[in-house]
Chain A
Amino acid sequence: MKMNRLILVKDAPEIGLKGKNRNRFRQRLIQNLLRAAELPADRARDEPGRVYLDVSAEEMDGVLDALGRVFGAHAFAPAHRTEPDLDAAGEACLRVAEAAGFQNASFGVRVKRADRSFPVSSNEAERHLGALILDRFPSWRVDLTAPDLWVYVEFRHGSAYAYSSLDERAGPGGMPVGASGRALALLSGGIDSPAAAWMAMRRGLSVDAVHFHSFPFTGEKAKEKCLNLARVLSRWKTLPMNVYVLPFAETQTAAAEKVDQSLWTLLFRRMMDRAAARLMKARRYRALITGDNLGQVASQTVENLAAMDAAVDMLRLRPLIAYDKADTIALARRIGTYEISILPYEDCCTAFTPKQPKTKATARALEQAEAALPVEALTDASVKGAQMYRVRPDSIEEADMPDLKNA
């Protein structure tokens, strides 16, 4: 009897709710699954609400690990595939039960009939398969409310699948990366900005990053730290992450000379937004992702956010806006960026931290302060000095900076 090992992936239920766009989402999900698992296209089979990936026993653990980072995957489990008949399915159920390794256990069988033409009803099939398992493991008992083990069986056109509740893993959910378009994230090196970028990716945005590097006020280590954060994020993206590193010391030096220090932080952000906006326009990023969080530091009041945002008209997404710091830290730990973020290398603003930042700045005050600065020239210089790195989990390569003519 033919029986294969494979991984069954359940879509995020949200994808199923899509109307005309569903297919686009699913194709993106399948692509991302294959890329994350490093499998060729012919290993994936597409069924309503499910993606099946053929994997060998040697590949299994590595693929399971990688799938845990593919957004749009709701849950997944290693499964057995058999002929779509009761005998074959029974054999598969016994394997699943055996693999659980219980002496005494409560169990239940859940059958799903995607193929409605299957001659036996789900109820009958469940009873039949349950009896089969009881036969083999007489000390087990059936419990259909909260058993130690659920044996899941799905009858579909051409195949049946069986898997164990013990093997089922939760995926990260969300939407497949790329399904929502492209966005640029401000990546500082702190705890928040990588978490914000991750949340944006989880909603299907394909995120690249921009980092403002304040050499000589911060060193190469600060830049490397940011690139190392991008390494971790690129695992979730399933694609290389482009990181644009823009020089920022000139802007800071100019501001230090001309502008009252209570406005520095906000002014810096407005200058960053301006430079980022140029990149976004030239490279077709639709939104800027930031790690801002209401009230976390003095600069993050609603007044200040409004004053900051007035500089450039663009879509800003702030996924962490209502997070508590503890939530962000927990998220960063889960993503794998926390340990890198807490390394001591300063980010570009630490060298110019005002003693008393304004908590209620106005756009007007910032505009007046900026009148003393060559805003355009500084932005030009920052964008012109950009370096681009193509970051993968196991490599960071400096790439040619794309032409930004229309910036």
Chain B
Amino acid sequence: MRPIYLDNNAAAPLAPEALAAMTQAAQDAYGNPSSLHRMGVKASRVLEDARACLARHFGAEPREVVFTSGATESVNMALLGAAKALRRQGNRIITSAVEHESTLAVCKHLHSEGHQIDILETDAFGRVCPDRLAAAVQDDTILAAFGHVNGELGTIRPIGELAQIVKRKNRRAVFFSDGAQAFGKMPVNARAVDLYAASAHKLHGPRGIGALVVKGVAVKPLLFGGGQERGLRPGTENAPGAAGFAAAVEAAYQDMPACRERLRKLRRRFLDAIPPIGDVRVNSPDDALETTVNAAFLGVPAETLSHALEERGVYVSTGSACSSTKRGVSSVLAALPMPEAARRSSLRFSFSRFTTDNCIDRAAAALREAVPKLRQLYRLAQ
């Protein structure tokens, strides 16, 4: 039985185009891109081609794209690097409680170093109220960090508008957006922000490579070495990884409108299939990105349900966080205003362009089978 893989927001399988590009680059462009001989030039060509491709889809200049090891590194580079560069200007950073853990963890670290972190409340879908944001921006606010698409719920944020709101209040404040769950899944315009992070493996690219778009703002390096990537990311460049990243991006944006339309129908199909199970609460907003459905199956612990689905060949996620006190409840759901019972029984189903109607039908069938069984059992255990 082929696995029904609905955990694409965690990691997406490698696209054949990416594998082919990586293999070829690894075989042919093995030189060090900084070497002066022909083999070095060949590798640097691969790297720069990839950079140009990414830049086109980011809406950025190639020189604004810095390769990193992934979104977490990009987030660290953006927030720590900008905070360092803007130290004289102030120490206030504004974000929300439903950001990805990497953003929250960096903010926590910055707080320990004396920065003031203002955490905005959101609505139940993770949306930021524009007026509240405007009110929160101060003269000494140096950074605003708001993710583009929420990985747990699929909520899309209007980052261009949010950036404008921040800039109107304080034109020197830098706006950062983590686009790990957006880039390659919807059109992205990084021109609207100052810093934008992305990751390859969320869009069917390889692991271990990501990017940070740096648009004309000062970012201090966190690593020191041979000066590669404008000195922001020293170390021999990962040319095969970059080639794979670019090929995956190219494949993702090819035919995107039609692909998104199909995914929208697919998501609808899933949303229509689960209510008959009863006591289902959909946590994602209607207008979420079509790749994500977060829903609670009340009365069943999320982790057990996920294993029961696994038993039926369906792979989903209970959330991105895992701490011993709040087992299986993601930090995002924990921060959202929603009933505790829903939080504990919420699963995330995340689709990709490789997901088919058949996957959706089988996932729904597995849910229809597993949920009532487990509900009965847990009623007994009460």
- Tell me the A residues contacting B by CB distance below 8 Å: 215-220, 253, 256-257, 261, 342, 344, 346, 351-352
B381 in the interface (beta carbon within 8 A)? yes
Contact B307 A216 (CB under 8 A): yes
Query: A256–B322 contact, CB under 8 A?
Result: no
Establish whether residues B327 and A218, one from each chain, have CB atoms under 8 Å apart when the complex forms.
no
Interface residues as binary, B301-314 with A (CB distance below 8 Å gives 1, 0 otherwise) = 10111111011000
Chain A residues in 8 Å Cβ range of B377: 253, 256-257
Which residues does chain B contribute within 8 Å of A219, judged by CB atoms?
303, 306-307, 310
**Please, how many angstroms separate the alpha-carbon atoms of A346 and B307 in the complex?**
13
Q: For the complex, give the distance between the alpha carbons of A393 and B152 in Å.
A: 37
- Name which of B307, B310, B327 has the most chain A CB atoms within 10 A of its CB: B307
Contacts of A351 in B (CB 8 A): 301, 304, 381
8 residue pairs, one from A and one from B, having the closest CB atoms: A216-B307, A216-B308, A344-B324, A219-B307, A256-B380, A217-B304, A256-B381, A216-B311
Q: How far is the CB of B371 from chain A (nearest CB, A)?
A: 12
> Which of these, B307, B322, B323, contacts A217 with CB under 8 Å?
B307
Please give, as numbers and ranges, the residues of chain A lying within 8 Å of B303 by CB-CB distance: 219, 346
A216-B304, A344-B322, A344-B323 are contacts. A261–B311 as well, Cβ < 8 Å? no
Minimum CB–CB distance from B73 to chain A (whole Å) comes to 24
A83 to chain B, nearest CB (A): 54
Alpha-carbon separation in the docked complex, A61 to B322 (Å):
39
Quick one: which of A215, A253, A352 contacts B307, CB cutoff 8 A?
Answer: A215
Q: A256-B377, A352-B381 are in contact. List 12 more A-B contacts (CB 8 A).
A: A215-B311, A216-B304, A216-B310, A217-B304, A218-B307, A219-B303, A219-B307, A220-B307, A253-B377, A256-B381, A344-B324, A351-B304
Residues of A within 8 A of B304 (CB): 216-217, 351
Which of chain B's residues have a CB closer than 8 A to the CB of A344?
Answer: 322-324, 327
Which residue from chain A places its CB closest to the CB of B325 in the assembled complex?
A344
Chain B positions within 8 Å of A217 at CB level = 304, 307
Chain B residues within an 8 Å CB radius of A257: 377, 380
Which partner residue on chain A sits nearest B306 by CB separation?
A: A219
A-B contact count (CB 8 A): 35
Please name the residue on chain B nearest to A217 by beta carbon.
Answer: B304
A205 to B342, CA, bound (A): 49
- State in angstroms the CA–CA spacing of A351 and B308 once bound together: 14
- B residues less than 8 Å from A346 (CB atoms): 303, 327
Least distance between B334 CB and chain A CB atoms (Å) = 15
Closest-by-CB residue of A relative to B305 is: A216
Closest CB in chain A relative to B70 CB, distance in Å? 22
The contact sample of 25 A-B pairs, CB cut-off 8 A, is A215-B307, A215-B311, A216-B304, A216-B305, A216-B307, A216-B310, A216-B311, A217-B304, A219-B307, A219-B310, A220-B307, A220-B310, A253-B377, A256-B377, A256-B381, A257-B380, A261-B381, A342-B324, A344-B322, A344-B324, A344-B327, A346-B303, A351-B301, A351-B381, A352-B381
Bitwise interface map of B from 357 to 382 toward A, beta carbon under 8 Å scored 1, else 0: 00000000000000000000100110
CA A253 to CA B380, docked complex, whole Å: 9
* Docked CA distance A169–B324 (Å): 38
Docked Cα-Cα span, A341 to B308, in Å, equals: 24
Cα distance A256–B307 in the bound complex, in angstroms: 19
Tell me what chain B mostly uses at the interface: helix, strand, loop, or mixed.
helix
Count of chain B residues with a beta carbon within 8 Å of a chain A beta carbon: 16
Rounded to whole angstroms, the CA-CA distance of A218 and B304 in the bound complex is: 7
Closest to A352 in B: B381
Contacts of A352 in B (CB 8 A): 381
Most buried by A among B304, B305, B306, B310: B304
CA distance A256 to B381 in the complex (A): 6
Task: Kindly state the separation between the CA atoms of A79 and B307 in the bound complex, as whole angstroms.
Answer: 55
A72 smallest CB distance to B (angstroms):
37
State how many angstroms separate the Cβ of B161 from the closest Cβ of chain A. Answer: 39
Complex contacts, B311 vs chain A, CB 8 Å:
215-216
Report B282-326 residues with CB < 8 Å from chain A CB.
301, 303-308, 310-311, 322-324
- Measured CB to CB, the nearest residue on chain A to B374 is A216
Q: Which residue of A lies closest to B312 (CB)?
A: A216
CB distance from A50 to the nearest CB of B (A): 48
Residues of B within 8 A of A342 (CB): 324
**Bound: A335/B314 CA distance, A:** 38
Bound complex: CA of A257 vs CA of B305, how far in Å?
19
Which B residues are in CB contact (< 8 Å) with A253? 377
CB distance from A255 to the nearest CB of B (A): 10
Docked Cα-Cα span, A342 to B235, in Å, equals: 35
In the assembled complex, the Cα of A342 lies from the Cα of B324 at a distance in Å of: 9
Considering residues B308, B310, B311, B377, which has the most beta carbons from chain A within 10 angstroms of its beta carbon?
Answer: B377
Roughly how many angstroms separate A402 CA and B6 CA in the complex, as a whole number?
Answer: 37
B306 to chain A: which residues have CB within 8 Å?
219
Q: Which residue of B lies closest to A257 (CB)?
A: B380
Interface residues in B180-210 by Cβ distance below 8 A to A read: none
A-side contacts of B380, CB under 8 Å: 256-257
Query: Once the chains are docked, how many angstroms separate the CA of A218 from the CA of B323?
Result: 15
Chain B residue at smallest Cβ distance from A350? B327
Distance in angstroms from B94 CB to nearest chain A CB is 31
Which of A217, A218, A256 lies at the interface centre, i.e. has the most chain B CB atoms within 10 A of its CB?
Answer: A217
* Chain B proximity of A166: nearest CB distance (Å): 39
Report B326 CB to chain A, min CB distance, Å.
10
Q: How far is the CA of A345 from the CA of B226 in the complex (A)?
A: 42
CA A116 – CA B301 in complex, angstroms?
A: 74
Nearest chain-A residue to B301 (Cβ)? Answer: A351
Q: Would you give the shortest CB distance from B305 to chain A, in whole angstroms?
A: 8
Which residues of chain A come closer than 8 Å to B307, judged between CB atoms? Answer: 215-220
B residues less than 8 Å from A215 (CB atoms) = 307, 311
- In residues 209-257 of chain B, which contact A (Cβ within 8 Å)? none
State how many angstroms separate the Cβ of A345 from the closest Cβ of chain B.
9
Q: Which residue of B lies closest to A346 (CB)?
A: B327
Cα separation A216 to B380 with both chains bound (whole Å): 17
B330 to chain A, nearest CB (A): 14
- Residue in chain A with minimal CB distance to B376: A257
CB distance from A190 to the nearest CB of B (A): 12
Q: How far is the CB of B304 from chain A (nearest CB, A)?
A: 5
Q: How far is the CA of A256 from the CA of B324 in the complex (A)?
A: 24
Minimum Cβ distance to chain B for residue A374 (Å): 17
Q: How far is the CA of A49 from the CA of B322 in the complex (A)?
A: 51
Chain A nearest CB from B130 CB (Å) reads 38
Give min CB distance, B101 to chain A, whole Å.
15
Question: Please, how many angstroms separate the alpha-carbon atoms of A257 and B373 in the complex?
Answer: 12
Most buried by A among B303, B305, B310, B322: B303
Considering only CB atoms, which chain A residue lies closest to B308 in the complex?
Answer: A216
Chain A residues positioned under 8 Å from B305 (CB to CB): 216
Chain A residue with minimal CB distance to B373?
A253
Give bound CA distance, A90 to B377, whole Å: 78
CB distance from A248 to the nearest CB of B (A): 13
Q: Give A125 Cβ to nearest chain B Cβ, in Å.
A: 58
Q: In the bound complex, how far is the Cα of B307 from the Cα of A215, in angstroms?
A: 7
Instruction: Report the Cα distance A352→B324, complex, angstroms.
Output: 17
Bound complex: CA A209 to CA B380 (Å) = 32
Counting chain A CB atoms within 10 Å of each CB, the highest count among B304, B308, B380, B381 belongs to B381
